[in-house]
Structure 1
Amino acid sequence: MTRPTVTQARQWRPERLREVADAWDDAAGHLQTEVDELRRSADEGRDGWAGTAAATGWERLASAQMAATAMTRGFVAAAVAARDGAARIAAARDEVLAVLSDADGYRVADDGTVAPPDGDAAPLLRLTSGGDERVAQLMMAMRATELTDLLRTALDRLGAADTETAHDIDQAFDVRAAATDQGPAHTRPAGVGPVADAAIVAAWPSMSQDRIAGQIAAMTPAQRQHLIDTMPAQVGNTDGAPWEMRIAANRINIADAILDQRRTIDRPDDDKLRRVLGQAIAAQHLDPASAERMWVAAHADAGLRAAAIGAHDADARRHIAFYQGLLAEVPDPGRREGPASESMRPRQILAFDPARASLVELIGDLHSATSVGVLVPGLNTTIIGSAGTTETARRFVAAGRGSVAMITYLGGPFPTGGPVTGLLNAAEPRFALEMAPRLVAFSEDVERTLAGTETTTGQRIPVTFIGHSYGGSILGTAESLGLTADRTLYVEAAGAGVGVHDPGDWHNRNPHVLRFSMTAPGDPIEAVQGFPTGPHGADPDEMPGVIRLDTGHRLDGTVMSGLAAHSDVLSEPSDAWRNILGVITGDRGLIQVR
């Protein structure tokens, strides 16, 4: 890192970096369009061309497509890094400018050295020094030294932000492994001859997680990287793959999802207009004459045309903004000290598959954690609407000050809908039945990943699975199918699980699992918990052996109760929230039972 000069700091314009990011996004879209066209042409041209020349041609074409695809991913990742960097550089530059403003009247050298002003001491300093000129001069000298330290520190932070941004952009464009037409030597699983990456991952669905983990462990670093680059969807979403590989692969998967949404935005305007007007015509059941008038009006009215195109792009832009956030760096909630600008960390996405509504994220540091929580949310949770769930998890990590790691688990679609349709969909057990086996498999992956990780006292890291609302039914159903957990916590849960009517229906693979539950008084979910003909099983609050936790009071002293308590027990500082934290950490001093 090189400390910038004061002149450089004054001249820097971080907004230019944001303009570059926009240009890289556009470049990704344009390049992807060309790659798509190349792929279509290649598919159409395969008929009628065979032989050695054809084989060589198709091989080289595939290599070129891979290189171009890698470059589009690089543009997407670099754009996110540039925007993050622009924000960091702008904040650091503002700090430099603030110190320079405070040093107004003092002599500031380009290297950040501040000296007292020429001439007599300022009247204010003479006044505060009791009129003693020598005291005033001493005070100005001390202030100059203080300003020098502040300015140089600010310049150093600016230089660090610049260096970090350059590093992040460089990493984003590091597409060597994916772009090469001669990848590393093919991987050899034990007892098998050379096979392609596609053949390796094709066998994973029928293999145990331990076998998958062992197969990957036998690979060289270059082979593992090649597997990430060529098969990111499988690597990023397979239990058994090392988490560091899943995180790296999912950065590629997220970039691909952004590029997929850009296909919508990069359609020709007339195509967008045709789609939007076609939907409007169908929804309003317009006759041909009325439809023609709408079409003519849309072409004649620039404002109407722009509105239609904007409506067409709106959903894609929302998805892109959310996905870019997944690639961006965020403050480390477990950091104990230091400036916020120095606590930025990449997000750790353990699973990402929009087609399956799957998003799993690790928050915190497993190396410092002494406890881990896995949060399964409930009704109306979607990938792009999951920010609230993430923030809830981040608050628990922050409260642990480095000792707590959290995982948010969206293992498939959740029931969604308004006040009426949402409740009707929540009565469907199929969401729990579909997601529970995936949660069971993931709990095995968590157990294996943490097997070699111990606390500073040499103890195994305990894992708590938390099911909130409909997530409680998912959790209970997973327990009936063989979930592995040290603790389970049912929070305002819809039930104890599909088909779970007594503790004997739970089959947690940990015979010493501790189970907890909490439901705030007046939460409407009480009306469906344990309903005899309900789909979600017994009321976990009434299950023998389950420790019932008190929801207590809010921060303002009022009772935690009513409809708002359904979500507030997880998100608002309160007795209930501290109870949940106590279960996660195993801190009996925080736990209050009913």
Structure 2
Amino acid sequence: MLTVEQVTAWPARPLDGAARQARAAAATLRGQVGEAGDALRRVGGWHGRGRDGAVGRLGQEVDHAQELARVLTVFAERAGTASEVLARGRERVLTLAVDGAEQARDAGSQESEEGGAADDGRALQARVREALDELDREDRAHAGELARLVSELEAMVAGHVNVATAEGPRDPDSVVNRLVSMRPAQRRALLSTMSPDDIDRLVTANPQAMGNLEGVPFSVRIEANRRAIAEALDAEIRRGAGERARADQLRAMLGTIVDPHAPGRRVRRQFVAFDNTPEGRAVEMFGSLTQTSRSAAVYVPGTGTKLDTADANRRAAWNFASRSGAPVFLFMDGRFPPDLPSATSPMFAAAMAPQLVSFGRALDAEVAGVAPGAATVYLGHSYGGAVVGTAEQLGLRADRVVYASASGTGILPGGAESWSNPAEVQRYSVTPPADPIQPVQASRLHGGDPDTAPGVTRMDSGDYGDGRRVRGAAGHGGYFDDPDSGGFQNMVKVIRGEAPTGYVCREPDIPLPGTR
């Protein structure tokens, strides 16, 4: 049984040193293996079996070293978390113990006919015992996890660690390669037969693959992408770009945010897709999908969206999650048009829409397993509306869809008329007065005007929270930046499954030039 005296003897942050050492060891291991590979590649004039054998052997060692470095990185992260949790618990115990000692002194110097001081002392002692028990549970849980990781490291140093499959022990890399070649349902079936520890070994073997495969549970993808992000940051630092925008963004992605569903606490950021391309690709989850979730929403932003400059989109997604109580996924798993001239091209929507359809299937499977019956909602803003519309043409399954200042209903022939499930989806649109997207909508460049498409209910964009009218060029994205605006509140209602405020015509839409 843990005592106050034992806790008093603990260091203030007992595992910080271990976390630093593990992180430094991982960085050193990656760096030395990388240098060895570079040196071999610089050798000129050497050809033949000897060179091929050396390169092949080095590749195996690099792979093994990377896996060791990944486990060291996980150890460092878990040790850091444990240190923080135990430090908070220790502080609580010591604070309660000091309060108890002071109260005992007061009780000894004062007489209380009702015995109130004694009762208070016993209550405080009970709180100290409760805090000690909670700290003991945390200590044991974190110690167990760190011991598991140490055992994993020892086994990996001694040799390659296999995973159990129905066919017998297999190399984790080979199982990941097998997963990559499978259909999503087959992946789910295979992973359902594996232990959590073996699945974690697959993540260690190839976090980049495991973090982006449809059919892999979101919790596994989130853990895999956290490791992939850490490796991407390490790569940026090693190439001398550790102080640039991408590295700063990757550091932030490894940090925490305020929980939109519980603003009193902070949580780690969660990514169910990630690829460190020049523009950066990711799907970030805000909030949690639980058994009580009534819906889950996917928000696809528009032109100019890039990983390093998407803070406004992240704030909007956070606000959607906070106001609706639903998990919201910010979908940036593709290349967006970088500017307005390029936004006239349909190729970005053509390339990204299949990714959205795939993610939609993965989300449906996740919802079915965690919150059966919860609705899925898609919101496409500006060019993101054309992406959502094209995904609908390709078979995206949805319960509700919002086209927000959307450039069109889909770039494939037929526009809204070629949506794959036109009668099964509740569709809404919102476009503020004098929004400059209106001539684009009228041009049918991206499939047609969602505000006038059959079966689409146009919602009101209303006013900003301060009473100003949402309109014009500023209004195109302004209502996404103001969660108190009428347009934003209407989108929240759609996510929640409530009836939005209908469209109020305050001024005519801007027509296509030359057609007035």
Q: TM range, normalised to the smaller chain?
A: 0.7 to 0.9
Task: Write the distance in 2 (CA, Å) between the matches of 1:566 and 1:168.
Answer: 46
User: How far has the Cα of 1:531 moved from its partner?
Assistant: 4.2
Indicate how the Cα distance of structure 1 residues 188 and 358 shifts in structure 2: closer, same or farther if over 3 A, else same.
Answer: farther
Q: Is the 8 A contact 1:332 1:364 kept in 2?
A: no
Q: Which residue of 2 aligns with 1:466?
A: 379
SS of match in other structure, 2:455 = coil
User: How far has the Cα of 1:581 moved from its partner?
Assistant: 2.4
User: How far has the Cα of 1:27 moved from its partner?
Assistant: 2.6
**Partner of residue 409 from structure 1, selected from 324, 328, 331:** 331
Q: Which residue of 2 aligns with 1:78?
A: 75
Task: Write the distance in 1 (CA, Å) between the matches of 2:482 and 2:149.
Answer: 35
- Unmatched segments (≥5 aa) in structure 1: 109-113, 122-132, 266-310, 417-421
Q: Structure 1 counterpart of 2:4, which letter?
A: T
Correspondence 1:194-233 to 2 at 5 A:
197-198=173-174, 201=177, 204=180, 208-214=183-189, 224=199, 226-233=201-208
Q: Is the 8 A contact 1:370 1:462 kept in 2?
A: yes
Task: Write the distance in 2 (CA, Å) between the matches of 1:218 and 1:89.
Answer: 34
**Partner of residue 284 from structure 2, selected from 361, 383, 401:** 361
User: How far has the Cα of 1:32 moved from its partner?
Assistant: 0.9
**Partner of residue 454 from structure 2, selected from 540, 544, 562:** 544
Choose 1 or 2 for highest CA Rg: 1
Task: Write the distance in 1 (CA, Å) between the matches of 2:318 and 2:81.
Answer: 20
In percent, how many aligned pairs have the same letter? Answer: 26
**Partner of residue 393 from structure 2, selected from 472, 480, 502:** 480
Q: Is the 8 A contact 2:162 2:172 kept in 1?
A: no
Q: Which residue of 2 aligns with 1:247?
A: 222
Q: Is the 8 A contact 2:161 2:171 kept in 1?
A: no
Q: Deviations over 1:42-85 (max 9, x none)?
A: 6789955669xx97x98886665444322322333333334444
User: How far has the Cα of 1:439 moved from its partner?
Assistant: 0.9
Q: Which residue of 2 aligns with 1:515?
A: 427
Q: Deviations over 1:386-436 (max 9, x none)?
A: 4554454344444455xx3332211112234xxxxx433444433222211
Q: Structure 1 counterpart of 2:306, which letter?
A: T
Q: Which residue of 1 aligns with 2:354?
A: 437
SS of match in other structure, 2:492 = helix
Deviates more, 1:90-99 or 1:506-515: 90-99
Question: Do structure 1's residue 447 and structure 2's residue 364 form an aligned pair?
Answer: yes
User: How far has the Cα of 1:9 moved from its partner?
Assistant: 4.6
User: How far has the Cα of 1:188 moved from its partner?
Assistant: 5.8
Question: Do structure 1's residue 144 and structure 2's residue 144 form an aligned pair?
Answer: no
Please report the TM-score for the alignment, with normalisation by the length of structure 1: 0.69
User: How far has the Cα of 1:159 moved from its partner?
Assistant: 5.0
Q: Which residue of 1 aligns with 2:307?
A: 383
Q: Structure 2 counterpart of 1:144, which letter?
A: G
Q: Which residue of 1 aligns with 2:501?
A: 592
Q: Structure 1 counterpart of 2:359, which letter?
A: F
Q: Is the 8 A contact 1:188 1:195 kept in 2?
A: no
Deviates more, 1:555-564 or 1:438-447: 555-564
Q: Which residue of 2 aligns with 1:276?
A: none
User: How far has the Cα of 1:463 moved from its partner?
Assistant: 0.9
Please report the TM-score for the alignment, with normalisation by the length of structure 2: 0.78
User: How far has the Cα of 1:350 moved from its partner?
Assistant: 2.0
Question: Do structure 1's residue 582 and structure 2's residue 493 form an aligned pair?
Answer: yes
Indicate how the Cα distance of structure 1 residues 44 and 331 shifts in structure 2: closer, same or farther if over 3 A, else same.
Answer: same
Indicate how the Cα distance of structure 1 residues 40 and 571 shifts in structure 2: closer, same or farther if over 3 A, else same.
Answer: same
Correspondence 1:25-174 to 2 at 5 A:
25-40=23-38, 64-93=61-90, 95=92, 99=96, 103=99, 107=101, 114-117=103-106, 120-121=109-110, 134=112, 138-145=115-122, 147-153=124-130, 155=132, 162=139, 166=143, 169=146
Q: Deviations over 1:497-520 (max 9, x none)?
A: 33577521x323474111111123
Q: Structure 2 counterpart of 1:503, which letter?
A: A
Q: Structure 1 counterpart of 2:428, which letter?
A: F
Q: Is the 8 A contact 2:16 2:80 kept in 1?
A: yes
User: How far has the Cα of 1:548 moved from its partner?
Assistant: 1.0
Task: Write the distance in 1 (CA, Å) between the matches of 2:312 and 2:80.
Answer: 23
User: How far has the Cα of 1:256 moved from its partner?
Assistant: 2.3
Indicate how the Cα distance of structure 1 residues 119 and 452 shifts in structure 2: closer, same or farther if over 3 A, else same.
Answer: closer
Q: Is the 8 A contact 1:70 1:175 kept in 2?
A: no
Q: Is the 8 A contact 2:480 2:488 kept in 1?
A: yes
User: How far has the Cα of 1:352 moved from its partner?
Assistant: 1.5
Q: Deviations over 1:295-335 (max 9, x none)?
A: xxxxxxxxxxxxxxxx873446414412422xx6x665446
Q: Is the 8 A contact 1:351 1:358 kept in 2?
A: yes
SS of match in other structure, 1:313 = coil
Q: Structure 2 counterpart of 1:378, which letter?
A: G
Indicate how the Cα distance of structure 1 residues 259 and 535 shifts in structure 2: closer, same or farther if over 3 A, else same.
Answer: same
Indicate how the Cα distance of structure 1 residues 511 and 217 shifts in structure 2: closer, same or farther if over 3 A, else same.
Answer: farther
SS of match in other structure, 1:107 = helix
Task: Write the distance in 1 (CA, Å) between the matches of 2:179 and 2:139.
Answer: 45
Indicate how the Cα distance of structure 1 residues 163 and 42 shifts in structure 2: closer, same or farther if over 3 A, else same.
Answer: farther
Task: Write the distance in 2 (CA, Å) between the matches of 1:331 and 1:163.
Answer: 27
Question: Do structure 1's residue 492 and structure 2's residue 402 form an aligned pair?
Answer: no
Correspondence 1:566-577 to 2 at 5 A:
566-569=477-480, 572-577=483-488
Task: Write the distance in 1 (CA, Å) between the matches of 2:441 and 2:33.
Answer: 55
User: How far has the Cα of 1:26 moved from its partner?
Assistant: 2.9
SS of match in other structure, 1:512 = coil
**Partner of residue 251 from structure 2, selected from 321, 326, 345:** 321
SS of match in other structure, 1:573 = coil
User: How far has the Cα of 1:477 moved from its partner?
Assistant: 2.0
- Unmatched segments (≥5 aa) in structure 2: 504-516
Task: Write the distance in 2 (CA, Å) between the matches of 1:397 and 1:4.
Answer: 42
SS of match in other structure, 2:331 = strand
Task: Write the distance in 2 (CA, Å) between the matches of 1:203 and 1:94.
Answer: 46
Indicate how the Cα distance of structure 1 residues 170 and 251 shifts in structure 2: closer, same or farther if over 3 A, else same.
Answer: farther
Task: Write the distance in 1 (CA, Å) between the matches of 2:148 and 2:63.
Answer: 18
Q: Is the 8 A contact 2:4 2:97 kept in 1?
A: no
Q: Is the 8 A contact 1:487 1:515 kept in 2?
A: yes
Correspondence 1:333-352 to 2 at 5 A:
333-334=260-261, 347-352=269-274
Task: Write the distance in 2 (CA, Å) between the matches of 1:183 and 1:30.
Answer: 25
Q: Structure 1 counterpart of 2:104, which letter?
A: A
Q: Is the 8 A contact 2:245 2:308 kept in 1?
A: no
Task: Write the distance in 2 (CA, Å) between the matches of 1:80 and 1:353.
Answer: 21
Deviates more, 1:87-96 or 1:227-236: 87-96
User: How far has the Cα of 1:440 moved from its partner?
Assistant: 1.7
User: Between Structure 1 and Structure 2, how many residues are aligned?
Assistant: 495
